[in-house]
């Protein structure tokens, strides 16, 4: 009886594992198809100066609408893309599209001051991101300071010299380097000394309970303090309420993103959002 139960249990897990694998393969194939058939798009979320709500830039966020699955959130497909290697092509496409969009806005005299783009750590190992950024800036007639690349602590902790050299090159060019989701990785903080970082993004998990949680206030205050001491811009993520905004201002945070100010939106919606009557 026990033996039989064990066997059923093993079968159950094998089946579950196979289903999970099948789903990954399905997503990978559908994503590959979406990339090569123009079914991906970018949304843009405003980054604002907290003191006066002045727009300081936007972050490009990948959006995928699949005929069968509907909207698939990046947290579901980015990990699959990273495991399959598709992330290189995906992130390269995003960087190109984001630069093209910024150039298009400039051509229409729409003053979007800067563009932030997420880049997976993988890409720094397999591609020359610095060379690609340099080529795109030239092609689209943009300045290096127009562009910021957002990377996670995963990359910062990496001892490999290839990513580090690219970060140095980006820095020498004048491209911004932002540490995304700061405080959620296994950071040692020493990379802030070694690497040419220009911005820290305070993860939204610290922002969420700011009004009620003294520990989150202490941690946020510490991150903002570190950033200021090192001359970095600190950007708070996930600001949803006036209460959170007020506390962040008190703590000395200068820039923020969040639904309170604007959700990620298509290029046209962003221009509408920017017109004074809408603010």
Nearest approach, Cβ of 18 to ligand C2E (angstroms)? 27
String of contacts with Mg ion for each residue 132-171, x by CB under 5 A: ------------------x---------------------
3-class DSSP assignment, residue 265 = strand
With tokens 């123009």, the residue in question is 38
Nearer to ligand C2E, 15 or 142 (CB): 142
195 and 176 Cβ atoms separated by less than 8 Å: no
Q: Across the chain, where does the E strand assignment appear?
A: 40-49, 55-66, 70-72, 115-118, 147-152, 176-182, 199-202, 233-236, 255-256
Nearer to ligand C2E, 183 or 264 (CB): 264
178 binds, among Mg ion, ligand C2E, none (CB under 5 to 8 A by kind): none
Buried b (16+ CB within 10 A) or exposed e, 203-234: bbebbbebeeeeebbebbbebbebbeeeebbb
Nearer to ligand C2E, 91 or 153 (CB): 91
199 binds, among Mg ion, ligand C2E, none (CB under 5 to 8 A by kind): none
What does R_g of the chain's alpha carbons equal in angstroms? 21
**180: burial class by Cβ within 10 Å (0-12, 13-18, 19+)?**
buried
Nearest approach, Cβ of 267 to Mg ion (angstroms)? 18
Site for ligand C2E, residues 50 to 109, rule: CB under 6 A: 61-62, 73-75, 78, 91, 94
199 counts as binding Mg ion under rule CB under 5 A: no
240 binds, among Mg ion, ligand C2E, none (CB under 5 to 8 A by kind): ligand C2E
Q: Which of 91, 146, 180, 254 binds Mg ion (CB under 5 A)?
A: 180
Torsion of Cα atoms, 40 then 90 then 175 then 199, to 10°: 80
Tokens at 26, concatenated: 């399905």
Q: What is the rounded CA–CA span in Å between residue 279 and residue 74?
A: 28
String of contacts with ligand C2E for each residue 3-42, x by CB under 6 A: ----------------------------------------
Site for ligand C2E, residues 130 to 169, rule: CB under 6 A: 150
Segment contacting Mg ion by CB under 5 A, of 35-43, 64-72, 86-94, 116-124: 116-124
153 binds, among ligand C2E, Mg ion, none (CB under 5 to 8 A by kind): none
262 and 46 Cβ atoms separated by less than 8 Å: yes
| Nearest Cα to Cα of residue 224 among 213, 214, 235 | 235
String of contacts with ligand C2E for each residue 103-122, x by CB under 6 A: ---------------xxx--
178 counts as binding ligand C2E under rule CB under 6 A: no
Nearest approach, Cβ of 271 to ligand C2E (angstroms)? 19
Running DSSP on this structure, what letter comes out for residue 276?
Answer: G
| Nearest Cα to Cα of residue 264 among 91, 81, 119, 71 | 71
Nearer to ligand C2E, 12 or 259 (CB): 259
Site residues for ligand C2E per CB under 6 A: 45, 61-62, 73-75, 78, 91, 94, 118-120, 150, 180-181, 204, 237-240, 257-259, 264
């Amino acid at each position: 009886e026990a033996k039989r139960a064990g066997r059923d249990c093993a079968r159950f897990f094998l089946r579950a594992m196979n289903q999970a694998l099948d789903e990954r393969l399905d997503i990978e194939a559908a994503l590959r198809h979406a990339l090569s058939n123009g079914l991906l798009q970018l949304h843009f979320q405003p980054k604002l100066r907290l003191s006066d709500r002045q727009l300081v830039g936007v972050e490009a966020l990948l959006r995928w609408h699949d005929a069968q699955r509907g909207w698939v959130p990046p947290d579901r497909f980015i990990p699959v893309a990273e495991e399959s290697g598709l992330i290189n092509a995906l992130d390269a496409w995003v960087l190109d599209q984001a630069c093209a969009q910024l150039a298009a806005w400039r051509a229409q005299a729409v003053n979007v001051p800067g563009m932030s783009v997420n880049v997976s750590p993988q890409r720094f190992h397999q591609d020359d991101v610095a060379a690609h950024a340099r080529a795109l800036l030239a092609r689209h007639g943009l300045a290096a300071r127009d562009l910021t690349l957002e990377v996670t602590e995963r990359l910062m902790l990496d001892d490999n010299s290839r990513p580090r050299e690219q970060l140095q090159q980006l820095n020498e060019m004048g491209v911004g380097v932002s540490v995304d989701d700061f405080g959620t990785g296994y950071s040692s903080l020493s990379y802030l000394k070694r690497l040419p970082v220009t911005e820290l993004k305070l993860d939204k998990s610290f922002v969420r309970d700011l009004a009620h949680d003294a520990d989150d206030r202490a941690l946020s205050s510490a991150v903002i303090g570190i950033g200021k001491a090192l001359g970095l811009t600190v950007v708070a993520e996930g600001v949803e309420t006036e209460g959170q905004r007020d506390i962040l201002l008190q703590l000395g945070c200068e820039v923020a993103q969040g639904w309170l100010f604007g959700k990620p939106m298509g290029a046209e919606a962003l221009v509408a959002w920017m017109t004074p009557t809408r603010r």
